[in-house]
Structure 1
Amino acid sequence: MQCTPIQLSGIYVTLEPLTQEHLPEIQSAVADGELWKLFFTSVPAPKNVQQWLAAALDMQHQQTAIPFAIRDNASGKIVGSTRYWKMEPNNRRLEIGHTWYAKSAQRTGVNTECKLLLLTHAFEVFNCIAVEFRTDYFNHKSQAAIERLGAKRDGLLRNHTIMANGRIRDTVVYSILEHEWPGVKKNLQYMQSKYKN
């Protein structure tokens, strides 16, 4: 498991290695739906995207994350971002997180294919034994989306994270284990097939 930039390509989306050149497209994507106004997300406001981008690239430089820009193959537009992070090669596990999508990309199949691409690479290339997801206790949409993937809820970490606005977040933890992956993969492929024209 190497923290080096990779590209993952699917039918509907391409996960591109995040670079400084993505700045204007990321700013446009975050403006679609004004997601930074939701108190339970960590989506940057357009004026804070440069700081967010620098932090993501620094995590990559520190060999702790692989951040992606998500490009919609049909429109050619960047519609969000995600990353592998908390990568633990010795324990063969990682977390998929820092994920957000422009409002126009939500409920379109983008999330399903992104997770199919990320999980396939994690389990079949990185040889992970577990992949984790975490979300805010109040982000019920995110919890429902994670559960639709086939991840199981591990528990709740109370008073887990102090957010930028000072709120102390409770974090819900989910995971998919290596023996669960074949079934989860079939489910994701089935979900993906429903979006085909």
Structure 2
Amino acid sequence: MLLRERLTLENAHVRLEPLEPAHEADLRVAAAGLEHAWYTSVPRTDTVGADIAQRLAWRDEGHMNPWAVRRLDTGRVVGTTTFCNIDQQNRHVEIGHTWIGPEAQRTAVNTASKLLLLAHAFETCDAIAVEFRTHWHNRQSRAAIARLGAKQDGVLRNHRLGPDGTFRDTVVFSILPHEWPAVRLGLSERLARG
């Protein structure tokens, strides 16, 4: 199966639905109250529509497969996540461009979403590596990625220019197929504990 194939993924906690413009209203609500640190790229409530349009354009170019994250206990869409930097020929993908609204932070939502995406990548799409990237200064994100069971590969120094012209050092993590069974077990255990 192709990493860019549009499909719905679901478990007991979340449903990942192919992102559509129809998700905009719910995502505007989800984005309200998020702190917009200078090192993140979470959309503001007034830019959610443009963010969806950009993700769909990247999808149409074959670089991204975006999902809306629906929390099943409330039925509300609470954020987005993607397969990005898709390299189908080499069966390599990054999970990124993820944000979760305040109401769903510190819940099972992120763990359940990552479990679905990683299972799909490794078990259905036969990925040879799944990568995660974050800004050096985003300590919360770095800690969350490490808790997933990903290993830090390195730091890409002066990797990108930010919107304000500052340099971004990007921290790269990955999970490989032989690591996936232990990662899957760890994520499942976290979900079982609540």
Q: Which residue in the other structure is 2:21 paired with?
A: 20
Q: Which residue in the other structure is 2:167 paired with?
A: 168
1:1-197 map, 5 Å:
1-31=2-32, 33-35=33-35, 37-195=36-194
Deviation at 1:47, TM superposition (A): 1.2
Letter of the 2:34 counterpart: E
Deviation at 1:34, TM superposition (A): 2.3
Deviation track 1:60-104 (CA, whole Å, cap 9, x = no partner) reads: 111111100000101111111000011111111100000011011
Deviation at 1:51, TM superposition (A): 1.3
Q: Secondary structure at the match of 2:22?
A: helix
In 2, Cα distance between equivalents of 1:184 and 1:99: 19
| Structure 2 CA distance for partners of 1:2 and 1:101, relative to 1, 3 Å | closer
Letter of the 1:103 counterpart: P
User: Where do 4+ consecutive residues of structure 1 move more than 3 Å?
Assistant: none
Deviation track 1:130-163 (CA, whole Å, cap 9, x = no partner) reads: 0000001010010000000000000000111112
In 2, Cα distance between equivalents of 1:69 and 1:184: 23
In 2, Cα distance between equivalents of 1:165 and 1:54: 22
Q: Secondary structure at the match of 1:91?
A: coil
Deviation track 1:4-33 (CA, whole Å, cap 9, x = no partner) reads: 2111001111100000111111111111x3
Deviation at 1:166, TM superposition (A): 2.3
Deviation at 1:168, TM superposition (A): 1.6
In 1, Cα distance between equivalents of 2:94 and 2:3: 14
* Alignment RMSD: 0.9
Deviation at 1:2, TM superposition (A): 4.4
Deviation track 1:108-145 (CA, whole Å, cap 9, x = no partner) reads: 11111000000000000000010000001010010000
CA contact (8 A) 2:3 2:121 kept: no
Letter of the 1:130 counterpart: A
Structure 1: 5+ residue stretches without partners? none
Letter of the 1:134 counterpart: R
